[in-house]
Structure 1
């Protein structure tokens, strides 16, 4: 199975998770930033995994627009979605349903919460100040590699 992992990343965490996921998949996979996805022929892939960050409860508009524009083609693929966010996992389903259509989510074979990181060096000034206040100045690396490994295994499972 040929798998395309499309991602959108603001501070590098979603890209990092997409690359870890690619290594975990037994299938041939390509990792592509959604900003460059216009050059990708989706028909050449059997599976598509979409990864996004969440900022202020929202996935980036380009992610939501991509799903909306390509929904019918995506639904013909083995489909997965993962989120990277600085929120606890109990809000994962809420963020999925607030950012993606039921039609898209129902078509996803697997959905994953991969945790997140607060990387102050890659944040803009205002975002950095807000996050530093909330996190009491601590960078919080908590990418859930065990979740990424489980996602890869579940995605490739027959069914």
Structure 2
């Protein structure tokens, strides 16, 4: 099985999650950060695709949205996983997940995950710091990366990741 993890990581949290996931998903797994690398591979070369992003100013990264829109037809035919890093919890986090990923891809996904988030102030610009402080009430770096959710996602993905004939 050949799998692709496509993600965007503004401050490094989603990259951490993607690389933890890459180590746990069975088979040959490649991780590509769309913020740093243009995807040159044909998605047809992969049996499965996992897509991850994070919430900034209430929305997932534009490159993730564009990737999903451009490849929606192919993604529906793949073993698909979707994950999101965000600082919200409970229903707010689920709402952010629903807003980040199109309904048709959420329905097709064999694994979905909310991986928590981090506020890494040292990597933020001035405006990001103001927003993060208003959300957290503090200027201290915070990590709520949910390792258990990453492990559960990987286990679910491995269990449901089946060979799909072309």
| 1:18-57 mapped onto 2 (5 Å cutoff) | 18-35=18-35, 36-57=37-58
Q: Which runs of 5+ in 2 are unaligned?
A: none
Paired residue for 2:120? 119
| 1:99-110 mapped onto 2 (5 Å cutoff) | 99-110=100-111
Aligned residue pairs total: 159
Shift in CA distance, 67/16, structure 1 to aligned 2, threshold 3 Å: same
Paired residue for 1:97? 98
Q: In 2, distance between residues paired with 1:113 and 1:98? A: 13
| 1:38-77 mapped onto 2 (5 Å cutoff) | 38-77=39-78
Which of 135, 143, 146 is 1:144 aligned to? 146
Q: Report the CA distance between 1:152 and its aligned residue.
A: 0.4
Paired residue for 1:7? 7
Q: Report the CA distance between 1:91 and its aligned residue.
A: 1.9
2:141 is paired with a residue whose SS is coil
- Structure 1 residue runs of 4+, over 3 Å off? none
Q: In 2, distance between residues paired with 1:16 and 1:123? A: 17
1:38 is paired with a residue whose SS is coil
Q: In 1, distance between residues paired with 2:40 and 2:91? A: 36
Q: Which runs of 5+ in 1 are unaligned?
A: none
Paired residue for 2:157? 155
1:54 is paired with a residue whose SS is strand
136-145 or 31-40: bigger deviation: 31-40
Q: In 1, distance between residues paired with 2:27 and 2:18? A: 14
Q: Report the CA distance between 1:133 and its aligned residue.
A: 4.2
